[in-house]
Amino acid sequence: MRVLVLIVLFLSSAASLADEAAKIQYSGFARFIGGATISSNDTAIGYTDDFKVNQHSLIGIQADYAFSDKLSATVQLLGKSENFDSGLEWLYLTYHLNENWQFKLGKLNTPFFEYSSIINVGYAYHWVLPPEEIYASFFFRKFNGIQANYSYLAEQFDLNIQTYFGYVDDEIQAGETVYTAESDVFTGFVANISSEALKFRISHTFGDYLVRETELRPFIDILNQASVINPVYANAAEKLTVDGDINFTQMSLSYNLVDFFFSSEWIKVKHDIDLLTEMESKYISLAYLVNEFTFHVTLAKKSANYDAQLPAIPTTGGLNTNLDVVIEQYEFLRQNRPDSSSKSVTLGSRWDFKDSLAFKLDIKWIEGSPTTTLPTIDSVPYDGRSTLLVGGIEWVF
């Protein structure tokens, strides 16, 4: 609610500058999303068999101010029904060097995925929720830094290349829990090439990745203290930390006609963090358009596995019962880490009621757990099945 008030105040203050009105362009978007699992006691992507509307509903306001023909500023504010991730989303300067080169500096969107820059603008894509196998990862959505864009328009194709460099100090959500993630070195590139109805995208991102406070922090501290008894405990504590280098690779391909479109995406995540799974995820989506209606089907799959096993550690044999309890819990985690592998089928429809207003309804059959979480001591693998029904109203203004 606080963020929604700030949005209203922001618009009121900006609107009062009448002599500057011609230099400011406003836009906005809103989503009202509700859903529930169909069968009782099932959970999926934060939804249960109780109807819920605060998981993905939001409103956003963006203002673009032109200082000159070459220099502009952009600010985007986001308000969600839940406090997490509400507030300042984007804040950056854009400098247009010429018709080919553009530079951005400030708080920017992280271009991990095909729909990263518009993930909050549900009107821009056909699903109610993009495939969770890819878009529910534990990666941050924003970074602070610089981005260079190069565009080239030829007779047969269009080319766009982005490179970026910066750092991250941001909140992320993994499952139902919010963490603070840090990255001192964050860099990568994106290349888009399109020719008429066909578009191809490839990206690669590298960075260090640190989450200081997790549910495992008390156990890490206890094991580190116990290292005076046996150094193997310190090694186990290190393996429980989320701290290391991550390489992220993405590719997507789409083909759009007047009454039909095809889209697909693939990602692979590799890292040296023993606690987390490495992932390979993909989806393929087909859609058919009939006047203002869109009907679509999407198949998605995520394969997650651990590149390294956590080391076994000995108990004290009853000499330190409190430490033995921690070691037993550690052993349970070592043998029962959830891998979050999943697959799903989604059938959906969209009705474009007006040029700026759309209604959507999806039914999703899920096997496994598409949502990526950070392991905890009481984590257990989930390989159940669930059916999720979600619908929404999408609005841009």
The pLDDT value recorded for residue 1 is 45
**What is the C-alpha separation between 181 and 106, in angstroms, rounded?**
18
pLDDT of the residue at 138: 59
Angstrom distances, CA of residue 266 to CA of 9, 128, 134, 249: 41, 20, 8, 8
pTM exceeds 0.75 for this model = yes
Return the pLDDT at 214: 81
Q: How many domains does the chain have?
A: 1
The span from the CA of 266 to the CA of 251, in Å, is: 5
Q: Are 34 and 45 in contact (CB under 8 A)?
A: no
CA–CA distance from 290 to each of 13, 284, 295, 298, 345 (Å)? 43, 20, 8, 18, 22
* CATH number, domain with residue 312: 2.40.160.10
- What tokens were used for 26? 């406003």
User: Which tokens belong to 86?
Assistant: 């509400």
Rounded Cα distance between 113 and 249, Å, is 9
Please give the residue range of the domain that contains residue 201: 2-396
Distance CA 7, CA 356 (A): 21
From first to last of the 397 residues of the chain, give the pLDDT tens digit: 444 444 445 545 544 554 456 689 999 999 999 999 997 778 888 899 999 998 899 999 999 999 999 999 999 999 987 666 688 999 999 999 999 999 999 999 999 999 999 999 999 999 999 999 999 765 788 999 999 999 999 999 999 999 999 999 888 877 667 788 899 999 999 999 999 999 999 999 999 989 887 888 888 999 999 988 899 999 999 999 999 999 999 999 999 999 999 999 999 999 999 888 899 999 999 999 999 999 999 999 999 988 888 999 999 888 899 899 999 989 988 888 777 889 999 999 999 999 999 999 999 999 988 777 677 766 555 557 899 999 999 999 9
State the Rg of the chain over Cα.
23
CA atoms within 13 A on the CB side of 129: 29
pLDDT value of position 262: 98
Residue 226 is which amino acid?
Answer: A
Q: Which amino acid is at 105?
A: L
